[in-house]
Structure 1
Amino acid sequence: MHPLLLSLSVLWLLPLALTLEEDSPLDCVPRKFILYHGVNAHLFHEDGVFNYSTMLLREDLDLLVLGAREAVYALDLNDISKKRASVKWRVTAKQKSECQNKGKDPELECKNYIRILHTMEDKRMFVCGTNAFDPECDYMSYSDGKLILEDKREDGKGKCPFDPAQRYASIMDDDNLYSATSMNFLGSEPVLMRSSPISIRTEFKSSWLNEPSFVSMAQMPESENNEDGDDDKVYLFFSEKAVECDCYNKLVVSRVARVCKGDLGGQRTLQKKWTSFLKARMDCPVLESQLPYIIQDTYLWCDPQQHWRNCLFYAIFTPQSDTSDLSAVCVFRVSDISRVFAEGKYKTPVPVETSFVKWVMYSGDIPVPRPGACINNEARKAGITQTLDLPDRTLQFVKDRPLMDQVIQPIGEKPLLVRRGATFTRIIVNQMQAADGEKYHVMFIGTEDGTLLKAVNYDGEMFIIEEIKLFQSQDPIKILKFSNVTRQLYAGSDSGAAQIPLASCERSSSCMDCVLARDPYCGWDKRLGKCVALSESQRELIQSVKEGNGSLCSNAGPIKPTNQSIWPGGNVKLSCPKPSNLAKTSWERDNRPLTPSERLQLLEDGLLILNASLSDAGRYRCLSVEHSKTDKYTTTVAEYQLTLGPAGSGKGGHIVFPQARRNGPSVTGLQVVVALLVISLLVLLAWNFYKGHLPLPWKCGKKNKQSQGSCEEEGVNSAAHYQGAQKPALAEDKFLVS
């Protein structure tokens, strides 16, 4: 590389390096990692059934309705390991054969994957499945402890995806199904559709939807206490190839689109098409990345005591290139999104000389009523009471220009969390009021490795409380749900479903451990002497979530040392498990810092002493040092009294050198056995020589005529004798030793 170019590249990368060093959010380590067997969870799985990726909470029936491959389950909401009912929905042999003839895998793709589960106003359930690449829907009810498919099948095209691997989104509102999926087998006709009462969908134009990957949908009650008389909205989050990009290879960007619930389509232009479909780009800037990050999941959080404008969308973003292993969480205000659609500029296509279309900001006159707007008080004053009354000029404008010019930025114009490691897949957020009276948003984030992160942002500081391995396999988390009734989380993957509480405070064994966990759900109860949930205690608990102030805990009493003995020249390991991933352990011997050496090796979980001598005897103490925002706190994890003498097994210490066997046979006994074996072998050899079964060595050495070539002949005779070995032999000719 040219020296000038090298210098410029170093100068260009320097700000990025400084940013990584200052913020250091990438290696945000979970304080604790909970293994699969240590999870306090209820699990559900049925042999031969996979893809537990669709969930419906029926809190009125105390049920979790779980959709899987060719099966729907009704599980106990309080303990999903208890199955109350189930129903199978399999494809027929004819459907499977037709699917296979279209080039699909008969064992994987030509199945019925349950993708849609919604509750209707009459308490029945609407369910749809891929049905061997021929989507179909039905109605389902639960009564007398049974799930019943009513066999009122209807076409699922535009409601449910054909391909089980294709992303989709849907919601049910007032028995109206809003769905975003593909209309055809090839997946080349993406659509955002309302199925009833009047079917309305998007145009099949690349300016509307350009090879999208749908993520999620949400409904916003924007008509409540609205001074303008606006309509409720349905928001759709997705990613697509950007039509406005001038690059040779189309760039993928994240989008949010919205439609009005009262939209009936146009009279002549946009008949049975959305007249209110508008979309805008969303951005989650991650460390000045050159390529935009792609949205993967969203969660709508609203405070029931506040206006809808204060609602928040938590969104997961991942890189679109394989060169990065970062994932991010960005938070968007609903009011910011709504403002862009209500007041923002439009983009318009402009043909250029190079025969391609360039999208630029539209600066001309905007028709009245505003294109893409819902019917409001201003439109009603002009005699426009429904979208069928809209003028063609307004409809043609929104048909040609559905894209907004402004990019929607997250709160603070930066991510709430950026982390290197397993890719984020799903997110859910719960609000908890801590002991300090403040309310905190706790994020539960699923990953590609099948783990669940529990994280909080304390005044700009990202803190991951724990990472939980929910399933034995490393299948990605495909769905997350939360029940306000049970205060439990529900997760689904290909291998099964899991149910866990919001907090497991009993994992903290001491006051220091409980406080340094900084978990809004947990606090230390001095009277009980254990870490408990705030919701289960009426007493004042010790908690410090913002700072992790461990000085609030009283000094723990001294730990009783464990006696450990070791032989001179032997090896021993003194165990010391770290209380958290943020702690660092150190060792003392006789109240002095221990200096590591070739014989004294510091391990991740203890101390290894090799070739012990008299000088190694003494009192060993393992200390844990953990930093928080206030100070660093040192606690004693383990203590040993090591003495030289008869080898023993102390609690926590492990002798790692071989020991002599005490209760086995003596050496004299072994010698006698060996001597008897040798004598027996000599007697058998002598017997075989006497009977002529084995030739004597000196007979081969005689040089008379009769014995010339006797060794060779004997070999031939032996071979002949072997070939005829199947004939019965006399008793005296049998070998005693083979």
Structure 2
Amino acid sequence: MHPLLSLGVFWLLPLALTLGEDSPLDCIPRRTVLYNRDNAHLFHEEGVFNYSTMLLREDLGLLMLGAREAVYALDLNNVSKKLASVKWEVTDKQKTDCKNKGKDLETECKNYIRTLHKMDDNRMYVCGTNAFDPECDYMSYVDGILTLEKKIEDGKGKCPFDPFQRYASIVVDDSLYSATSMNFLGSEPVLMRNSDTSIRTEFKSSWLNEPNFVSMAQMPESEKSYQGDDDKVYLFFSETAVECDCYNKLVVSRVARVCKGDVGGLRTLQKKWTSFLKARMDCPVLESQLPYIIQDSYRWCDLQQPWKDCLFFAIFTPQSDTSGLSAVCVYRVSDISRVFAEGKYKSPVTVETSFVKWVMYSGEVPVPRPGACIDNAARKEGIKVSLDLPDRTLQFIKDKPLMDHVIQPIGEKPLLVRKGATFTCIIVNQAQAADGNKYHVMFVGTEEGTILKAVNYDGEMFIIEEVQLFKPPEPIKILKFSNVTGQLYAGSDYGAVQIPLATCGRSLSCMDCVLARDPYCGWDKVAGKCVALSDAQSELIQSVKDGNATLCPGADPVKPVNQIIWPGGNLKLHCPSPSNLANIMWQQDDRSLSFSPLILHQPDGLLILNASYSNAGRYRCVSVERSKVAEYTTTIAEYQVNVDPDAGKDGHRFGPQPQRGGPSVAGLQAVVGLLVVSILALLAWNFYKGHLPLPWECRNKNREQSQQSHEQGDLNATVTKGPALAEDKPLVSGADNGSRNNNHTDGEVGFSAAEGENAPEVSLPSLQFIDDESEI
């Protein structure tokens, strides 16, 4: 058996056991919001794709959006408004050269904008793949005009060649840190700082081995540091593990870091990082055997707290596609920093002269510590910059950049595990609820173009809603949000959208508002509606931890809607569920309604077929939803149904109507006559030409064939004289499906009549005969 396949089998066993019990996988969004134009502001320009690079310019009120061969300046308050744009297209020669190198002319030989950063002089630095020949330029926005300055720079090491290759970049103190590939083939991955003292990683598999770069973040670790430490730049990526003793390639998740003041070594590691260290990250999901792979990360920091309290939220997906699970794990920056500062190293050891095994290094560690930044202790020894580091320290880090310790998430388990659409990206915002506590609200993008809005309340993961942003569904590739506007921005191949962080208006009642458990929203007693906390004019009702809706005032009684139907007709009573966590119950005259083939419970209502007088009465649709403290019952809709044989009279006719003002009967008869004559003439011509045999010739021929087959059968019976080998049975027994659905004497499905303007729209499903178990 294939090794990975066998691992997959064992991996699925705990998954199957877990799915049978209550588990985090049962965490479904309380509300599902289908695609609607009113959900978000959308920007899309015809013929332009891949809107996957974003830069917030809150100082200019702009969202800078990089796409394929174009950069846009959009209104930060309404991204559907384009304020300026600039095209950056490849030349015909560049297209030809790209095609001659074996790349696709329509997809790969374009200029995909991949790098977009603000510089200290207020300009922007932009790079594109440029038909597999990356280039960079400076861009400015002045007086409403976006301009490329045409100061073209070589983009190798700054921007990927391949538009579909993962990459990461960040600007720190006007220096671009980039993680990408240095060559056309993508076989020379680097973590590089592009500045006056440019340095990069070694081209060694022990440093970077077939990596997929994810994201980068800067940590101000020099602030208030008693050790005189340096700032760090962290890189998140996945790569093929060199330390794994297995037959097949195993991919693992990593975090690496370098020191901002690193300028390389004097002799060893010249113009190379002397502080590059990396460690494995783990996100344990359901005792999985194969490690989950990091796909995106987000650094969250409280500006009032020291950097050690910062958190990294990261998304993980499985290596095998059999599970359909995605996870979110959270890591403390202090835990990661401690591994690099105090942890053990891994060292390669040659076994049997050919095989290299990585084990924990237990020998003497040089001083200064390999991979450490220059601090006060090093300065006392006369080491002021990395150029002063001794060769012994540099040679150690050159051969052993991997840490032995595996970094575990907070609680050593995921914050969120969900089965369904694969997670693609994440962003986190902190919201202060009415109870005074602050909560991390996660916005998670998926491959199906949806955004999950989720909060963890004291270990309980609660998904507030899932919103469909794109139609058709497009994977969300990037997320940003602005504290200035309180808006979230998402990009995909199709376009970019903007949605508010708080969507309180979707809750129409106090109970619905409280049960949503959204820290952004509360029920305003005076205004009588669900509002954002920042817009509240009076005391708010909110219970995010427990969903306690007992504080809500009594709801106004639901006014019954009169519905009239004639015997044999059909009626749809609408009742949209306010929540995915609620159970919908129907009552008829205050008694629980029993469903039958003629009374169907549908997701959005109740369907009554072939109505009789027993179907008359008062129908009530009730929602029952349970929170942590209680069970709440709400009447959503109420109908008074009357069965009246004269419902279709008085001009109200809902069945098939006679056509008026159409062609006359004589005209129709003439048309039919012409058709008959044409068919007879066509048949006569085919008989004359011999294309069709005459009827009596067919009978004579059939008689001769029957006689020949009878004689042949007698001959065979004489030769074999044995029992029949098989009985003649039909392979398929068919039935006329059409006759099963004719439940009405007039051959048509009737429609219900309704009084006044309150008649709900009736939508009847087609009744189809299912002749296949797979369809059931």
TM-score (norm 1): 0.87
Q: Find the counterpart in structure 2 of residue 196 from structure 1.
A: 195
Taking the TM superposition and a 5 Å limit, the aligned residue runs for 1:346-365 are 346-353=345-352, 355-365=354-364
Tell whether 2:49 aligns with 1:56: no
Q: Find the counterpart in structure 2 of residue 3 from structure 1.
A: none
Task: Quote how far apart the aligned CAs of 1:551 are.
Answer: 1.4
Q: Find the counterpart in structure 2 of residue 527 from structure 1.
A: 526
Task: Quote how far apart the aligned CAs of 1:19 are.
Answer: 3.9
CA-atom RMSD in angstroms: 2.7
Task: Quote how far apart the aligned CAs of 1:16 are.
Answer: 5.2
Taking the TM superposition and a 5 Å limit, the aligned residue runs for 1:234-633 are 234-353=233-352, 355-633=354-632
Q: Helix, strand or coil for the counterpart of 1:396?
A: helix
TM-superposition CA deviations, 1:694-729 (whole Å, max 9, x none): 9xxxxxxxxxxxxxxxx99x989xxxxxxxxxxxxx
Counterpart CA distance in 1 for 2:30 and 2:480 is 24
TM-superposition CA deviations, 1:19-42 (whole Å, max 9, x none): 444552113211111122164311
Structure 1 regions of 5+ residues with no counterpart?
Answer: 1-8, 650-654, 686-693, 695-710, 717-738
Deviates more, 1:606-615 or 1:283-292: 606-615
Task: Quote how far apart the aligned CAs of 1:11 are.
Answer: 12
Are the counterparts in 2 of residues 587 and 623 from structure 1 also a CA contact under 8 Å?
yes
Task: Quote how far apart the aligned CAs of 1:14 are.
Answer: 7.4
Are the counterparts in 2 of residues 39 and 469 from structure 1 also a CA contact under 8 Å?
no
Deviates more, 1:278-287 or 1:555-564: 555-564
Deviates more, 1:619-628 or 1:206-215: 619-628
Q: Find the counterpart in structure 2 of residue 722 from structure 1.
A: none
Q: Helix, strand or coil for the counterpart of 1:586?
A: strand
* Letter matched to residue 265 of structure 1: G
* Letter matched to residue 167 of structure 1: R
TM-superposition CA deviations, 1:530-560 (whole Å, max 9, x none): 1111111142111111111121212212211
Q: How many residues align?
A: 672
Counterpart CA distance in 2 for 1:21 and 1:166 is 39
Counterpart CA distance in 2 for 1:264 and 1:447 is 40
Task: Quote how far apart the aligned CAs of 1:126 are.
Answer: 0.5
Q: Find the counterpart in structure 1 of residue 655 from structure 2.
A: 659
Taking the TM superposition and a 5 Å limit, the aligned residue runs for 1:69-80 are 69-80=68-79
Counterpart CA distance in 1 for 2:558 and 2:116 is 55
* Letter matched to residue 69 of structure 2: E
**1:419 to 1:354, Cα distance in 2 relative to 1, 3 A:** farther
Deviates more, 1:452-461 or 1:327-336: 452-461
**1:597 to 1:47, Cα distance in 2 relative to 1, 3 A:** same
Q: Find the counterpart in structure 2 of residue 697 from structure 1.
A: none
Task: Quote how far apart the aligned CAs of 1:602 are.
Answer: 1.4
Q: Find the counterpart in structure 2 of residue 187 from structure 1.
A: 186
* Letter matched to residue 600 of structure 1: I
Are the counterparts in 1 of residues 10 and 289 from structure 2 also a CA contact under 8 Å?
no
**1:662 to 1:263, Cα distance in 2 relative to 1, 3 A:** same
**1:354 to 1:600, Cα distance in 2 relative to 1, 3 A:** farther
Q: Find the counterpart in structure 1 of residue 67 from structure 2.
A: 68
Are the counterparts in 2 of residues 518 and 545 from structure 1 also a CA contact under 8 Å?
yes
TM-superposition CA deviations, 1:603-656 (whole Å, max 9, x none): 11111222222222111101111111111111001111111115669xxxxx9x
Are the counterparts in 2 of residues 266 and 273 from structure 1 also a CA contact under 8 Å?
yes
Q: Find the counterpart in structure 2 of residue 231 from structure 1.
A: 230
Q: Find the counterpart in structure 2 of residue 734 from structure 1.
A: none
**1:574 to 1:122, Cα distance in 2 relative to 1, 3 A:** same
* Letter matched to residue 384 of structure 1: I
* Letter matched to residue 610 of structure 1: L
Tell whether 2:24 aligns with 1:25: yes
Counterpart CA distance in 1 for 2:375 and 2:439 is 36
Are the counterparts in 2 of residues 565 and 647 from structure 1 also a CA contact under 8 Å?
no
TM-superposition CA deviations, 1:140-184 (whole Å, max 9, x none): 111111011111101000000000000000000111010000000
TM-superposition CA deviations, 1:58-112 (whole Å, max 9, x none): 1111111110001011111111111111111111111111000000011110000
* Letter matched to residue 203 of structure 1: E
Counterpart CA distance in 1 for 2:560 and 2:277 is 70
Counterpart CA distance in 1 for 2:393 and 2:353 is 30
Q: Helix, strand or coil for the counterpart of 1:379?
A: helix
Task: Quote how far apart the aligned CAs of 1:572 are.
Answer: 1.3
* Letter matched to residue 554 of structure 2: N
Counterpart CA distance in 2 for 1:591 and 1:580 is 23
Q: Find the counterpart in structure 1 of residue 45 from structure 2.
A: 46
Counterpart CA distance in 1 for 2:668 and 2:201 is 96
Q: Helix, strand or coil for the counterpart of 2:327?
A: strand
Q: Find the counterpart in structure 2 of residue 159 from structure 1.
A: 158
Counterpart CA distance in 1 for 2:557 and 2:134 is 67
Counterpart CA distance in 2 for 1:181 and 1:168 is 5
Counterpart CA distance in 2 for 1:589 and 1:624 is 15
Are the counterparts in 2 of residues 170 and 217 from structure 1 also a CA contact under 8 Å?
yes
**1:295 to 1:361, Cα distance in 2 relative to 1, 3 A:** same
* Letter matched to residue 313 of structure 1: F
Larger radius of gyration: 1
TM-score (norm 2): 0.83
**1:269 to 1:575, Cα distance in 2 relative to 1, 3 A:** same
Counterpart CA distance in 2 for 1:460 and 1:369 is 42
**1:12 to 1:151, Cα distance in 2 relative to 1, 3 A:** closer
Structure 2 regions of 5+ residues with no counterpart?
Answer: 1-7, 690-776
Counterpart CA distance in 1 for 2:455 and 2:668 is 77
**1:283 to 1:39, Cα distance in 2 relative to 1, 3 A:** farther
Counterpart CA distance in 2 for 1:380 and 1:95 is 51
Q: Helix, strand or coil for the counterpart of 1:100?
A: helix
* Letter matched to residue 182 of structure 2: M
Are the counterparts in 1 of residues 524 and 537 from structure 2 also a CA contact under 8 Å?
no
**1:660 to 1:76, Cα distance in 2 relative to 1, 3 A:** closer
* Letter matched to residue 555 of structure 1: G
**1:22 to 1:498, Cα distance in 2 relative to 1, 3 A:** same
Counterpart CA distance in 2 for 1:14 and 1:140 is 54
Counterpart CA distance in 2 for 1:91 and 1:492 is 23
Task: Quote how far apart the aligned CAs of 1:399 are.
Answer: 0.4
**1:425 to 1:11, Cα distance in 2 relative to 1, 3 A:** closer
Are the counterparts in 1 of residues 65 and 72 from structure 2 also a CA contact under 8 Å?
yes
Task: Quote how far apart the aligned CAs of 1:197 are.
Answer: 2.0
